[in-house]
Structures are given as C-alpha cells and as structure tokens.
C-alpha cells in the first residue's frame, strides 16, 4: 500500500486533503500540519487467542483485583486501587507534579518485591535518580529507562516482565511503523494503541503521561482519551502548594472523586482533611466571605467563597470569576436584582473560590448569591454558618443531593448553623446544628442578616 500525505490537526486529529489555517473541527489556528499516513501494523486482536462471542450469563462477573498503591488519595481517585491490565492517562500543566506523583507510586509498587519499569522520554536516568533521592525513592525493584523508541521499550518490557509500566510522556514516544515525527497525531495514536494491546493482552497496568494544550485539554487526537480506561487531570496553581487530582473518565470507579496533595520538598504529600486545609487561612469578620459544602464523589468538601462588589468606573461593569462558571454568576446577579431588589447593574463583581478548587454543581448557587449580597450590603456573615442550595430563576431555593453528609462534615469542623433548602430539611438530622430551611432567596437574606 502506498503511503499518502494528509493534513492533520495536532489538537483534535481532524484530517483534510489540503492545508487550512483554521481547523474547522476545534477552531484552532495554525495547528494543521502535513503528515504521512501509513497502514497500521497493529494486530487486530488484544490477545494471541481468537475471541468467540459468549452469552452474557456465561461471562465471569467476579470483581476485578485491585492493587493498592499505598497512597490513599491516589487509590481513591482510581476507584480503590490499580486494576491489572488498565491503561491510565494522566495530564496536567508542565511542572504540576505528574512525574513526581508517578515516581512515588512506582516506588510504593516496587516495595512488593516485584519489578516495575519507569520509562522517560524527556529526562535521563540520572536526572530521575537525582529527583528520586530528594524524595526518598530508592527501591531496588524500580527500574529506570530513558528511551523514546516504542520497539525498544516493548523489548525491555518483554525481558524485565514488570508488574507496572510508566511512559513519560506519550508524546515523546515513536514507532518505526509511522514516518511522521514524534508527538504527531499519527504517532500518538499508533503508540497508544500498541501500549493498549500490551496492557490488555498481558494484564500489565500502564500509566501514560500526556502533555496539555493551552486550553488545558490533553494534546493529541481525541481518540487517545477514548482508548484508555482512566483519564486523570492534575490541577493546581503555581502560586499554591496544593494539587488536586481529578478523574474525568474511569471505567473502574467514579468520575467525581478527587485527591488532594500538597507539594513539599520531599515530593507530594497527601492531605487527609482537605476541608480543614482550605479553611485554615479564612478571614474572620469581613463581608463577602462564607463557607459552602460541595460533594466530590463520595467526599464532602468545605470551601470558602469570596465576593467583592465595588462601584464600576467603566461603562460596562465587570463580572470576574475564579473557580465557578461565569455565566452562573451572571444568572444569580440577575435574580438578586429582579427578585430581591439589589441594585447591582453598575457594580463590578468579583467571585473567587479560595484554595484553587473548581465548583461545578448547582448546590453552590445560594452561597454565591449570598456572598455577593454580603459584599454589596457590607454585612458580615457569621463565620460558623454553612450555606447550601440551588437557586432557580424565580428566586426559589431548590433541594440538593446528599445534604446530610454535607452538614455532618461542617459539624465536625465546628459549624453551628446551616442555611439550606426547606425541601432538604427532612433528610438532615445532625445534633448540635441549627438547621434553617428557606424556600426563597429573599427569605435566606432575611434569616442570614
């Protein structure tokens, strides 16, 4: 078969017979490059044996065996531990701690007195060794390999027969079966496919480290995220030592779990009580600050919301958010103006979630609206008050999920009052907590102040 040239978008994998400045699929500029597309040499079967269809009742339903990584936060995000034959993709900004975390995980797996292999295409073995020395990584069963050729990596895997494999990063690995440069869409798709067959055929758990684009998504074709079993994103701000590991896809567990880590000189240290950590530097006696409870997977998490409302010096007032949806804030401001009567049309409004946490659930609505009202009215909210609830366009406060878990987590940290939807009050029974059920946003403001 004669190889042919195509123009491929390095951001989303879109293919075109001619060059274009803007990708019509992902709307990215200057991401389409010419590549030589060759016929794939990947075998069609996951294993050497031929597969036959079976009735679903005859397929074994036993639970998969979990391999603990001895890092509770990491095991929680994976769904209880590492599954044999799983393919895990970890993405994040440069320097966020992806390699550090995986080096610690592989060191713990090597404590089982079984070989594990860490392959790096970006650093030499000496560089990894120096970083490992600072972190106390010194297990003899942890093997390092600085290599970018997929064929040579597979040969070493066949010789060593490790119990776990890390490829850091997938964008640096290339195969001789594809003529394009390492990091191209064709190379990433081909090498990831070969590693997937290795994981499924031999039961070897494989970790892939992926670079991210400017918008935060993993670089390479979108099919890369479809091929793997688990996609993890490492989030954090370079100005904060805290890191959040979030699962956005997991075939073996929940996709809502998060793990919280703190970057220290000796590597990443897991945070057992993130709620206490996020509230440790909370200011007391200032307006615009309150605490809400969000649920990430099976864990309730208390975070601080901060709002600042000031007179605008421009014709169009600013609406700036960090950690919450910008459109959600605009909606809540409109409800405050229409249903409560607050005059916010000429005010700059800034809303921030302290600690770098991102809120995606509607249970934060009431807290966002009350934080804005508190700053606008310059009224201080009792620091021992928790606020929960979803706000509708009519100003009503709607019920939320798992209210009992949220309130109990707040009670552990010394909170004594909770303002939340009246429809959720029947599901909550926490001794020592004053429970105030409200039906409208206006009623919540009256009870709060």
Please report, in range form, the residues annotated as the binding site for ATP: 92-99
For residues 444 and 437, what is the distance between their CA atoms, to the nearest angstrom? 8
Structure letter (DSSP) for residue 338: I
E strand map for 266-345: 267-270, 289-296, 299-311, 319-322
Bridge-partner residues for 353, per DSSP?
Answer: 305
For residues 400 and 349, what is the distance between their CA atoms, to the nearest angstrom? 26
Contact 447, 434 (CB under 8 A): no
Work out the angle between the directed axes of helices 98-110 and 125-135 (0-180°, nearest 10): 80
Structure letter (DSSP) for residue 226: H
Bridge-partner residues for 270, per DSSP?
Answer: 261
What are the backbone angles phi and psi of residue 339, rounded to the nearest 5°?
-95, -25
Structure letter (DSSP) for residue 364: G
Contact 419, 406 (CB under 8 A): no
8: closest CA among 182, 186, 175? 186
Binding-site residues sit at 92-99
Chain centroid to CA 392: 28
CA dihedral (270, 276, 282, 286) positive or negative: positive
Please report which residue ranges of 171-311 form alpha helices under DSSP H: 185-202, 223-227, 274-278
Contact 302, 293 (CB under 8 A): yes
């Amino acid at each position: 078969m004669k190889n042919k040239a195509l123009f491929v978008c390095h951001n989303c994998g879109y293919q075109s017979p001619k060059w274009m400045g803007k990708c019509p699929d992902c709307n990215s500029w200057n991401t389409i490059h010419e590549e030589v597309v060759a016929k794939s040499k990947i075998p069609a079967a996951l294993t050497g044996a031929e597969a036959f269809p079976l009735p679903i009742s005859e397929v074994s339903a036993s639970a998969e065996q979990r391999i603990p990584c001895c890092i509770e936060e990491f095991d929680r995000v994976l769904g209880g531990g590492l599954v044999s034959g799983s393919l895990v993709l970890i993405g994040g900004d440069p320097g966020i701690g992806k390699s550090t975390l995986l080096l610690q995980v592989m060191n713990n797996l090597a404590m089982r007195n079984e070989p594990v292999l860490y392959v790096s295409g970006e650093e030499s073995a000496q560089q990894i060794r120096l970083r490992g020395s600072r972190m106390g990584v010194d297990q003899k069963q942890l093997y390092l390999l600085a290599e970018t050729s997929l064929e040579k990596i597979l040969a070493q895997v066949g010789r060593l027969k490790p119990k776990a494999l890390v490829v850091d990063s997938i964008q640096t690995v290339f195969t001789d079966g594809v003529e394009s440069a390492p990091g191209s869409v064709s190379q990433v798709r081909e090498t990831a496919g070969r590693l997937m067959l290795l994981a499924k055929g031999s039961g070897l758990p494989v970790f892939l480290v992926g670079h991210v684009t400017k918008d935060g998504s993993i670089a390479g074709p979108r099919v890369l995220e479809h091929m793997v079993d688990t996609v993890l994103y490492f989030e954090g701000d370079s100005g904060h030592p805290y890191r959040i590991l979030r699962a956005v896809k997991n075939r073996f567990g929940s996709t809502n779990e998060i793990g919280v880590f703190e970057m220290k000189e000796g590597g990443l240290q897991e945070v057992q009580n993130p709620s206490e950590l996020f509230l440790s530097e909370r200011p007391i006696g200032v307006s615009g600050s309150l605490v809400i409870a969000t649920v990430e997977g099976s864990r309730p998490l208390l975070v601080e919301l901060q709002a600042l409302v000031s007179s605008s010096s421009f014709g169009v007032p600013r609406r700036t958010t960090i950690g919450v949806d910008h459109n959600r804030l605009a909606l809540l401001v409109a409800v405050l103006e229409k249903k409560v009567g607050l005059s916010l049309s000429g005010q700059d409004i800034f809303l921030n979630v302290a600690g770098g946490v991102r809120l995606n659930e509607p249970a934060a609505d009431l807290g966002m609206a009350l934080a804005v009202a508190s700053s606008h009215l310059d009224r201080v909210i009792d620091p021992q008050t928790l606020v929960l609830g979803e706000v509708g366009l009519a100003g009503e406060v709607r019920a939320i999920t798992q209210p009992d878990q949220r309130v109990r987590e707040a009670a552990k940290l010394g909170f004594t009052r909770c303002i939340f939807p009246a429809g959720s009050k029947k599901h909550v029974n926490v001794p020592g907590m004053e429970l105030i059920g409200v039906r409208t946003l206006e009623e919540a403001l009256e009870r709060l102040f």
